[in-house]
Each structure stands twice: as C-alpha cells, then as structure tokens.
Structure 1
C-alpha cells in the first residue's frame, strides 16, 4: 500500500517547510504531491528545494483556488490511497495511520477526519466559524442523507479508484460540498474518525472567509439537486 499526500499551497512560505517535514516523518510508504497555486511570497523557491525523491512539485501558471489545486494533484497521484493535507499547521500528519486504517481493513472507501467528533485536542477559536461549519454540514447531510459531523474538514482520505470516478469542477473552497455530494451518490462506505485540530487566526494566515461560506451553500444545492 502506498499513500499519496496531496498538498495544495498558496503563499505558505512560513509553514511549508515544517508541514513538509512533518509529512515526511510519518512512517508510511508514501509520495508527496505539492501543488502550488501561483504563490507570490517566495513559497515557490522553497518548493524547488523540496522537489525530488518521493516528492513531486506541480506549479500553476495563475491563481485558481484550492479546488483547482486538488484537481491537479489528483491527476498526478500514483498511490493506492490519497489523503488531502493543508499546507498550514492546523492538521497533524501524525494521525495518518488511524485515518487510513478503515481503508486498510477493507471497511471503508472514504474516511473523513472530524474536528468535532473527537476526543483529541482542539484549539479554541472562532465561534461563528463553528456555527457556520455546523450549519453547512447539517444542510449537506440533509441533502445527502449522510450523518457527517464535519463536512468541511481538510482531512479526506480516498481509495484512489474513488477519485478516478469523480470530476472535480469547483476551483475554490466549494470543493468540500462538491466532493461530499458526489461520493454520497456512489454507494460508498464512508467512515469518520476524530482528529486533533490546531486552528490558526487570520493574522496567522487563515484564508477562508464568509464569502466562501456562501459559495459552499450554493454548491450544496448545486451538486445535490442539479447534478
């Protein structure tokens, strides 16, 4: 079994080395696909240093968004299992083993790492982000008839064959409700595992905002009712 770690990146000069080395430190057979979405802060120069060995770097020629970076990353994986890893330090790669376990045991096709269904540590931050997240998850669940606790989580793990059957259309953060709607229609075994979460503030580099919440709302309706 080989794990493909897809890391979408945009202006993460301050964190990319640390998260990259944290991923490399995980004792698991893996490849790392770093997709830079046209960073302008010096991130690309760091990525040039990291390329080689089990690491592939793919560069966008213009900024398109997280969904577009993931679409590019998925097209470049060769592993049996694919996991999404954000380039910041909010999610801990040390939890890969438990995230892939249900797939390795033959129980799951897709695994979501939940920040809310958890006994792990979680940094206390924005109340209204939590409310928005839970509202979007609830609405998504109503449309998909799933009972997820964290639809918007970064940590989504797939058997590669699942991704081979999905065409990603959204370029930005609408990827999360889009992929959830599409896997819900595929008669897959979906599991959820509690994860730790060390969220960051906007001063620390957080990028998602209220406009992305409205976009997610539209995507929930679009991909559940009109696709």
Structure 2
C-alpha cells in the first residue's frame, strides 16, 4: 500500500522542516510526499530548495499564490498511491495520527475517513482553537453539512481527509482557497459515500503564530455548501 501525502504550504518557514521530519518518521507505511509551495514569501521556498527537495518525492512551486484548494488540485495529477491524505504544513495536525486514519480506510474498508478534533481526547491541545467565532463556525458548518448531505460528522472542516485515490477521477474540484474543505465534502457526499470519522489530536495556532483562516472563509464555506447542494 502506497500513501500519497499532499502538503499545501504557504509561508511556513518556522514549521515546514518539522512537518516533513514528522511525516518521514511514519515508518509503517510506504509514502509518496507531494509538497506544493503556494508562492511563499517568507523564506519557505528557499528552505524547501536547499534542505528538503532531496527527501520529498515531488515539489511543485506555484508562480502565483492561489490558495489551499488550488495547491491541492495542482498535486492531484501526480498522485501515485492507493490512498491520499491532506497534511497541513503548520503542525496543527500530527502525522502520528496517520495510523488510526489508515486503519479505518484499510481494516474497516472505508472510502473516506476524516480525523475529528471533536472526538479526540483531550478535545484540543491548545486553547487557541476555542475562540468563540471559530467554535461557532466549525459547529455551524458541521451541522449544515450534516443536514444538506445526510452525513453524521462532528468536525466537517478538519484538515485530515483521507480517501481512496480512485475518487480523484470522480469529482471535479474548483475551489481555490480554504473552501476546498466544504467542496470536497459536498462532492464526496453526492457520490453517496458516508464519511467515517476517527479521533485525532489537535494543536491549534493563534493568528500571531501564523493562523490564516478568517471569518470570511467561514462565510464563504457556507455559500459553497449551498451552491453544491443545489447544483447538478
């Protein structure tokens, strides 16, 4: 079994080396690492070129900053694995959780598995996630997703999405930014697939530490959920 790990990256000079180290330390699975630098301006690109290209299977350098969704789309044509996982480059999500995610895919025969921060114990390692509007939007998006798409999720906006690579050819992704998350969930759901969840750890960052998602992203996510619901 080959696991393709897609890592979209923008201005993560403080964490990118640690993330790649953590990913490579997961020795129980054969890996293909695809890193997409989304035109970073903080020195991340130089770190990748000078220190990391030799330990990464495929590096893609975007000439224009387009967003997380566009970075993931750029990686998909290069996927060689049977299974795909999305890994953020900011250390909020721990690659040590890959095993529980992959066990659900392969031992429980699930097509799509999400890592739920809500199911994790303790729920969150870092209180930064618990700012009022972030809690509100995460729960609101999850509730809306469940109602519109007949899912039973606890954390629809999680980064950790693991899926069978055969699904790449069955959905057409168009969203460029953080709305990749609701778009992916919507289009997977429209295939009639029930998404399974497993508990994961989470170490949320503050905006001062580099958190990038904004309230406007939450509002646009709601729009994307409804847009895909009414579309054919």
Bin the TM-score by the shorter chain. over 0.9
Distance 1:120 1:33 in 2: 30
Contact 1:6-1:84 at 8 Å conserved across structures? yes
Secondary structure at 2:40's aligned position in 1? coil
2:6 aligned with 1:6, yes or no?
Answer: yes
Deviations 1:188-213 (CA, angstroms, capped at 9, x unpaired)? 24210011000000000000001111
Contact 2:35-2:56 at 8 Å conserved across structures? no
2:47 aligned with 1:46, yes or no?
Answer: yes
Alignment of 1:1-227 (within 5 A): 1-27=1-27, 28-48=29-49, 49-52=51-54, 54-120=56-122, 122=124, 123-125=126-128, 126-227=131-232
**Shift of residue 226 of structure 1?**
1.9
Distance 1:164 1:120 in 2: 37
Deviations 1:135-180 (CA, angstroms, capped at 9, x unpaired)? 0111111110111111100000001001221111000011111010
Distance 2:75 2:92 in 1: 20
Distance 1:119 1:39 in 2: 34
**Shift of residue 54 of structure 1?**
4.8
Give the direction of change, closer, same or farther, for the CA distance of 1:221–1:190 in structure 2 (3 Å limit). Answer: same
Give the direction of change, closer, same or farther, for the CA distance of 1:100–1:113 in structure 2 (3 Å limit). Answer: same
Distance 1:144 1:2 in 2: 30
Gaps of 5+ in 1: none
Secondary structure at 1:67's aligned position in 2? helix
- Off by >3 Å, runs of 4+ in structure 1: none
Number of residue pairs the alignment of both structures matches: 227
Distance 1:104 1:195 in 2: 17
Distance 1:175 1:81 in 2: 18
Distance 2:14 2:123 in 1: 23
Deviations 1:86-137 (CA, angstroms, capped at 9, x unpaired)? 0001000001011011211252000000011222451222232011110011
Deviations 1:12-55 (CA, angstroms, capped at 9, x unpaired)? 11110011101010112101000011111111111113113552
TM-score between both structures, scaled by the size of structure 2: 0.94
Which stretch shifts more, 41-50 or 30-39? 41-50
TM-score between both structures, scaled by the size of structure 1: 0.96
